[in-house]
């Protein structure tokens, strides 16, 4: 009887919240972007590596290589080395690098430096477009199969851990985005914040799904809105929904390589790279061009609002705050460096939880790391 009572109480709670926030809810479905938009450099000019050719001849399940690690650790460099060696194509797994014109602040590798290696999921979105983890899972798997069918090695590289997990482990089917609901939640949060009531969304999620609320930071508005959205549209806690079975990747053997850069050296690189983004004088001559402030101004000049999600990323958010007069340039640099170091720490915490990662001590550009990675890939490809 107690359990029944709890279930009834839970249903009443969900119904009450729905009545306040939804009014009549429109159950619209979001369409994913056309699969043809996944690649910014389609082509097959890179030579086919002999090791991967052997794999195909021996009829093994094709290999998927994943290169992970924190920002500024050299993932792009290592992925490019491996792609050149084994005849690979790179699937970008950095959610910000998918946006056009967000180049400097995302450390996006310029096309001229990609050695003719095709890069997928790079520069495929306008700043006001959306591309969820589910979109990446579906389209990414399709691209992987296309790449493998051409006899080439798909290499996933990037620091957005949730996208990688979705690609390999799959996602639990969940309700589609509901923009009117999201707007109401955001408006309600803004109203409460203006009245001095911070963390409204986190408190709301805590009332309907404490398990999920405990895993999301109180200031992570996008994740909080999505979690509440799933609870309300699914009419049960998101934690229950996400505990159900996932559509895991099949038909591939997965090798994960992780870059384990020494923390102090990594933080030093982050500080220098961030400073160079703001100050042209600190950058190599080959990298001269607009600084981060000028890049932000050019994107806004295209008609995109500075309140769009990509502008909330570390570096860009501080650049916008400076341009709008809220902080000085030294303060912008300090906060950008601090937030980027914090982000790198969270990335390592995430990737440490990923299973079967072969950790490589150093940076992705270190010769010893490159040689170790090549040996691991060659050995993995050659196994039956």
Gap between the Cα atoms of 187 and 197, Å rounded: 13
Chain segment 136-181, per-residue pLDDT in tens? 999 999 999 999 999 999 999 999 999 999 999 998 777 888 999 9
Measured in degrees and rounded to the nearest 5, phi and psi for residue 260 equal -105, 80
Is 137:166 a contact under the CB 8 Å cutoff?
A: yes
Percent of the chain with pLDDT over 70: 81
Amino acid 158: pLDDT: 96
Identify the three-state secondary structure at position 66. Answer: strand
Q: What per-residue confidence (pLDDT) applies to 289? A: 66
Q: Beta strands 253-260 and 63-68: pairing type?
A: parallel
**Does pLDDT of 45 surpass 80?**
no
Residue 212 in tokens = 């999920």
Candidate CATH numbers 3.40.50.720, 3.40.50.300, 1.10.287.70, 3.65.10.10; the one for domain 41-171+246-384? 3.40.50.300
CA–CA distances in Å: residue 257 to residues 86, 155, 251, 269, 276: 15, 11, 19, 21, 28
Cα 202 to the chain's mean position, in Å? Answer: 22
Q: What is the pLDDT of residue 114?
A: 95
Residue pair 157/81 in contact by the 8 Å Cβ criterion = no
DSSP lists the bridge partners of residue 259 as 360
Q: Residue 172 has what pLDDT?
A: 78
Poorest-pLDDT segment among 84-98, 205-219, 365-379: 205-219
**pLDDT at res. 38:** 58
pLDDT digits (tens, 9 = 90+) for 257-310: 999 999 999 999 999 999 999 986 455 554 556 899 999 999 999 999 999 999
d(CA 122, CA 130): 14
What is the rounded CA–CA span in Å between residue 81 and residue 207? 49
Q: What is the pLDDT of residue 7?
A: 43
Query: So what's the pLDDT on residue 239?
Result: 86
Q: How many CB atoms lie within 10 A of CB 294?
A: 13
Distances in whole angstroms, Cα of residue 167 to Cα of each of 7, 26, 162, 173: 34, 29, 9, 14
Burial of 45 (0-12, 13-18, 19+ CB in 10 A): exposed
Residue scoring higher pLDDT (219 or 82) = 82
pLDDT recorded at residue 280: 64
Tokens 């790198």 map to which residue? 344
Mean local confidence (pLDDT), 334-350 = 96
The structural domains of the chain, with segments of one domain joined by +, span 41-171+246-384
- The pTM for the full model equals 0.75
Maximum alpha-carbon separation in the chain:
74
Residue 320 has pLDDT above 80, yes or no: yes
- Sheet strand arrangement including 63-68: 119-120, 88-92, 153-157, 63-68, 253-260, 357-361
Position 46 pLDDT exceeds 50: no
Residue 211 CA to residue 228 CA, distance in Å, equals 12
Structure tokens at 200: 């409204």
Q: Are β-strands 88-92 and 63-68 bridged in parallel, bridged antiparallel, or unpaired?
A: unpaired
- Crossing angle of helices 2-21/221-234, nearest 10°? 120
Most confident of 20-24, 133-137, 220-224: 133-137
Q: How many whole angstroms separate alpha carbon 7 and alpha carbon 5?
A: 5
Per residue in 85-126, pLDDT (tens digit) is 999 999 999 999 999 999 999 999 999 999 999 999 999 999
Confidence band of 39 (pLDDT split at 50, 70, 90): low
The predicted structure's pLDDT at residue 284: 54
The angle formed by the CA atoms of residues 104, 346 and 192, to the nearest 5 degrees, is 90
**What are residue 154's DSSP bridge partners?**
89
């Amino acid at each position: 009887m107690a359990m029944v009572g709890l279930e009834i109480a839970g249903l009443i709670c969900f119904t009450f919240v729905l009545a306040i926030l939804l009014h009549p809810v429109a159950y619209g479905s979001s369409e994913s972007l056309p699969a043809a938009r996944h690649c910014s450099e389609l082509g097959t000019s890179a030579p086919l590596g002999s090791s991967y050719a052997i794999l195909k001849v021996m009829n093994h399940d094709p290999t998927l290589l994943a290169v992970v690690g924190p920002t500024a650790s050299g993932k792009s460099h290592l992925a490019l080395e491996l792609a050149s060696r084994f005849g690979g194509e790179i699937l970008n797994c950095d959610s910000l690098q998918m946006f056009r014109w967000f180049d400097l602040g995302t450390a996006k590798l310029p096309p001229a430096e990609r050695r003719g290696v095709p890069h997928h999921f790079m520069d495929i979105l306008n700043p006001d477009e959306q591309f969820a983890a589910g979109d990446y899972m579906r389209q990414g798997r399709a691209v992987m199969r296309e790449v493998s069918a051409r006899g080439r090695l798909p290499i996933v590289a990037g620091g957005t851990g949730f996208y990688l997990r979705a690609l390999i482990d799959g996602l639990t089917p969940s309700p589609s985005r509901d923009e009117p609901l999201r707007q109401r939640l955001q408006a309600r949060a803004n109203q409460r914040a203006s009245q001095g009531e911070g963390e409204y969304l986190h408190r709301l999620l805590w009332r309907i799904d404490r398990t999920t609320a405990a895993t999301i930071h109180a200031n992570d508005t996008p994740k909080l809105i999505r979690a509440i959205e799933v609870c309300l549209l699914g009419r049960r806690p998101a934690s229950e929904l996400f505990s159900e079975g996932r559509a895991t990747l099949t038909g591939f053997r997965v090798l994960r390589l992780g870059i384990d850069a020494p923390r102090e050296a990594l933080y030093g690189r982050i500080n220098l790279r961030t400073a160079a983004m703001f100050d042209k004088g600190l950058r190599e001559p080959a990298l001269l061009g607009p600084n981060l402030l000028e890049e932000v101004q050019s994107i806004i000049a295209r008609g995109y609002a500075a309140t769009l999600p990509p502008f909330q990323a570390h570096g860009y958010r501080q650049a916008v705050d400076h341009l709008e007069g809220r902080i000085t340039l030294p303060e912008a640099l300090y906060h950008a460096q601090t937030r980027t170091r914090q982000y790198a720490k969270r990335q390592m915490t995430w990737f440490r939880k990923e299973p079967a990662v072969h950790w490589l001590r150093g940076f992705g550009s270190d010769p010893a790391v490159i040689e170790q990675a090549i040996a691991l890939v060659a050995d993995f490809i050659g196994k039956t």
